[in-house]
């Protein structure tokens, strides 16, 4: 997931980014088993949360008001509720999501098609989530 | 990256998986700034390494002799040398790599094409790396 035009004030604060990351873990119903967060100099935060269902990662580029998030899940856990949560918490102006199939050969042998990428909105177009 | 037919003895040992993950970080020339590893009951290891250039994650499924690794890099760091290192260290029988473009709209607006997925080998076909 890419989040654009995010609230600049959030992206350089490790505590704020960590709270949002852990909030997203909760929204998708995952269980935290480990975490690591780091603040970069002069700016930016990277963090990972190991969950029982795999992991979540977050990287912020305050200078670009851009945040990249991965939610890697297994066991039938749906990461998509995290998209809206993160979009709202980061006060993003637009976002983009790619869904990548991973796993054993029976799961991944097929070609990746353009339709595998769900573009929620493009820059400058506000996202409308279902009510 | 997906690694198949891996050495079963490695995949359930958190120290072994951590050593291999940190070795891959070294091979690609990245700098560690944080880490979190977890051993699951009854089996399996998940771990993440936060690097100055983003992150590496690893998840093992010993029951399937399968390991999933992500190397998320920025700043021009090439993750591909990690593929051969991981393939050899995990004693994998085959592997598969997908390269996913992330970033600002100018970087990601294009469609994802099947040619973006580099399939190094399929199950049962040993991988030949360049000498």
Q: Does the distance separating the beta carbons of B70 and A104 come in below 8 Å?
A: no
Of B34, B68, B123, the CB nearest to A38: B34
Its ipTM equals 0.90
Chain A residues in contact with B35 by the CB 8 A cut-off are 36
Average pLDDT value for residue range A4-28:
97
Percent of chain B with pLDDT over 70: 85
Mean pLDDT of chain A: 89
As a whole number, mean pLDDT of residues B41-49 equals 97
Residue B131, pLDDT score: 57
Distance of CA B50 to the CA centre of its chain: 14
Q: Which residues of B4-40 are buried (b: 16+ CB within 10 A; e: fewer)?
A: bbbeeebbbebebbbebbbebbebbebebbbbbbbbb
Domains and CATH numbers, chain B: 2-96 (3.60.90.10)
CA dist., res. A94 & res. A91, Å (int): 9
The neighbour count for residue A92, using CB atoms within 10 Å, is 22
List pLDDT tens digits, range B93-117: 988 888 888 888 777 766 666 666 6
| Cβ–Cβ below 8 Å for B105 and A98 | no
Q: How far are the Cα atoms of A3, A27, B65 from residue A23, in angstroms, in the given order?
A: 16, 6, 32
CB distance A96–B112 less than 8 Å?
no
Does A118 score more than 80 pLDDT? no
Would you call B117 an interface residue with chain A, using a CB distance cutoff of 8 Å?
A: yes
| A80 at B interface, C-beta within 8 A | no
Which two tokens mark B60?
A: 């093992």
Bigger pLDDT: A53 or B125? A53
Given A59, A114, A116, which is nearest B54 (Cβ)?
A59
Q: Which of A36, A74, A108 sits opposite B48 (nearest CB)?
A: A36
Contact predicate A38/B33, CB 8 Å: yes
* Contact: A57, B36; criterion CB under 8 Å: no
Cα B21 to the chain's mean position, in Å? 8
Question: Residue B58's pLDDT band (boundaries 50, 70, 90)?
Answer: very high
Catalytic positions of A? 54, 59, 74
Q: From B47, which residue of chain A is nearest by alpha-carbon distance?
A: A50
Q: How far is A58 from chain B (nearest CA, A)?
A: 9
Query: What is the tens place of the pLDDT at every residue in A51-87?
Result: 999 999 999 999 999 999 999 998 788 888 899 999 9
Three-state SS at B9: coil
Active-site residue flag, B39: no
> What is residue A112's DSSP assignment?
P
A45 contacts: CB under 8 Å, gap ≥ 6: A11, A12, A13, A14, A17, A37, A38, A39, A58, A59, A60
As a whole number, mean pLDDT of residues B8-25 equals 97
CB A27 within 8 Å of CB A81: yes
For residues A34 and B38, what is the distance between their CA atoms, to the nearest angstrom? 7
C-beta neighbour count of A107 within 10 angstroms: 10
Handedness of CA A51, A55, A56, A61 (dihedral sign): positive
């Amino acid at each position: 997931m890419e989040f654009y035009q995010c609230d600049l004030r959030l992206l350089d604060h490790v505590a704020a980014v960590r709270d949002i990351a852990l909030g997203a873990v909760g929204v998708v119903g995952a269980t935290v088993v480990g975490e690591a967060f780091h603040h970069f100099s002069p700016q930016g935060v990277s963090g990972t949360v190991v969950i029982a269902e795999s992991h979540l990662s977050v990287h912020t580029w305050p200078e670009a008001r851009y945040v990249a998030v991965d939610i890697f899940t297994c066991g039938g856990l749906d990461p998509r509720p995290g998209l809206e949560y993160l979009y709202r918490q980061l006060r993003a102006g637009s976002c983009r999501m790619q869904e990548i199939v991973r796993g054993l050969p029976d799961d991944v042998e097929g070609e990746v098609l353009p339709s595998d990428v769900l573009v929620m909105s493009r820059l400058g177009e506000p996202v409308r989530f279902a009510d």
